Amino acid sequence: MANYTFQQANRRYRSVFFPLIALYVVACIGGALLLKTMEVPPVWLKPVVAVFTVAPIFGVFWLVWRYIQETDEYTRLRQLEALSIGGMTCASATGVVGFLELYDAIPADAVPTFLFLPVFFFSWGVTKWLRGAGGC
């Protein structure tokens, strides 16, 4: 584990988190605008824009991993609990939706796939809030 105090770990997390989120917002808006300006975008452009848009979120996951390593032991425990519960909630929701679609209980495109990312962050955040986890 890195040798940082809880306070230093928080500062290091925030100093990267907000620029990453700003980059994500820019990528979301910029990517959508870029594709809109072209009548027929090249085939390769759409996946490139999609991956670049989500890239800052990969960065956030790396940042969370770094924070968990750097923060104090109690916060680490609580964060990992919240991440686990958030992950399990999201995986359960994915499973339920998947089977609902498989059995034609709902239309195949009823729930957009990209919603699972916000569901994960939401359930992670709610768990942290309910369990009183400190830190970022």
Q: Report the interface residues with another protein, using CB under 8 A.
A: 4-8, 71-75, 77-78, 132-135
Q: Which is nearer to another protein, 72 or 101 (CB)?
A: 72
Min dist. Cβ of residue 122 to another protein (A): 22
Note whether 119 and 93 are within 8 A (CB). Answer: yes
First to last CA, the chain: 18
Q: Which is nearer to another protein, 31 or 128 (CB)?
A: 128
Min dist. Cβ of residue 66 to another protein (A): 17
Note whether 2 and 70 are within 8 A (CB). Answer: yes
Min dist. Cβ of residue 95 to another protein (A): 33
Question: Cα dist. 55→2, 28, 60, 64, 95 in Å?
Answer: 25, 11, 9, 14, 25
Q: Which is nearer to another protein, 63 or 111 (CB)?
A: 63
Q: Which is nearer to another protein, 64 or 100 (CB)?
A: 64
Which three-class secondary structure string do you get for 15-42? HHHHHHHHHHHHHHHHHHHHHHHCCCCC
Q: Which is nearer to another protein, 73 or 109 (CB)?
A: 73
Note whether 10 and 71 are within 8 A (CB). Answer: yes
Min dist. Cβ of residue 71 to another protein (A): 8
Min dist. Cβ of residue 1 to another protein (A): 10
Note whether 1 and 70 are within 8 A (CB). Answer: yes
